[in-house]
């Protein structure tokens, strides 16, 4: 006597159900595509309206005071005037944090921070910086070279600036961006009788 075993085949989705799923995926794809297009058009429109111009930074003055290099340790004060030029007619700039350092032969010798500020459109702001080297330890070779330059009456330095900035156009403000500035070489005379030559800086934004 044979016993019949019933087998159940899973029900396949109906054609209408498949069409619903396909339609849903198509709507999601169209939505995201439209969103990408809208964002892209918005960015292009903002760029066309702002027409951003390159920011310009220079070192307009520099001096060294109280220079003392003993046993490969440096004590000195470095003063610089940094000229920040925003030539943009629609975009102002928020400087939320500013760090300034001075280096000799790739070795940092002094560091300081500046107060945050807002720079209006078509504005030139001069930032006076005072950086103090306090018993900064130098390698023997760097110390020897720095003594030779001191004897010559002038020294070539690198001034680094790192800032967190935001752009403002109307009511819109951009996200924080990191601005890096390198001014090199900055030729500074130990004697105040010699005039300082402006140094143009490279920027990375």
Half-sphere exposure of 119 (CA within 13 A, CB side): 25
Rounded-to-integer distance, Cα 70 and Cα 53, Å: 46
Which residues does residue 114 pair with via DSSP β-bridges, in sequence order? 98
Class of the domain covering 56-204? mainly beta
Q: What is the mean pLDDT of residues 92-114?
A: 96
What is the tens place of the pLDDT at every residue in 183-199? 999 999 998 778 899 99
Q: What are the extents of the domains in the chain?
A: 16-50, 56-204
User: What local confidence, expressed as pLDDT, does residue 196 receive?
Assistant: 93
Summarised one tens digit per residue, pLDDT across range 3-16 is 555 555 555 555 56
pLDDT tens digit sequence for 155-185: 999 999 999 999 998 888 889 999 999 999 9
Strand ranges (E), 21-174: 56-70, 73-86, 92-104, 107-114, 117-119, 123-137, 154-169, 172-173
Whole-angstrom distance, CA of residue 197 vs CA of residue 192: 13
Give the pTM.
0.76
């Amino acid at each position: 006597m044979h016993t019949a075993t019933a087998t159940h085949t899973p029900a396949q989705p109906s054609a209408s159900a498949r069409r619903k799923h396909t339609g849903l995926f198509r709507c999601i794809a169209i939505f995201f595509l439209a969103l990408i297009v809208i964002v892209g058009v918005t960015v292009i429109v903002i760029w066309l309206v702002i027409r951003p111009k390159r920011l310009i930074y220079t070192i307009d003055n520099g001096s060294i005071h109280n220079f003392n290099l003993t046993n490969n340790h440096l004590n000195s004060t470095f003063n610089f005037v940094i000229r920040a030029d925003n030539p943009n007619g629609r975009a102002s700039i928020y400087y939320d944090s500013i760090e300034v350092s001075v280096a000799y032969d790739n070795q940092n010798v002094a560091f300081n921070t500046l107060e945050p500020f807002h720079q209006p459109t078509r504005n030139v702001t001069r930032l006076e910086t005072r950086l103090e080297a306090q018993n900064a330890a130098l390698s023997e070779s760097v110390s020897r070279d720095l003594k030779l330059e001191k004897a010559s009456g002038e020294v070539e330095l690198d001034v680094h600036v790192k800032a967190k900035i935001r752009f403002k156009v109307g009511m819109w403000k951009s996200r924080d961006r990191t601005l890096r500035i390198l001014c090199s070489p900055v030729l500074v005379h130990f004697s105040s009788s010699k005039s300082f030559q402006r140094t143009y800086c490279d920027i990375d934004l």
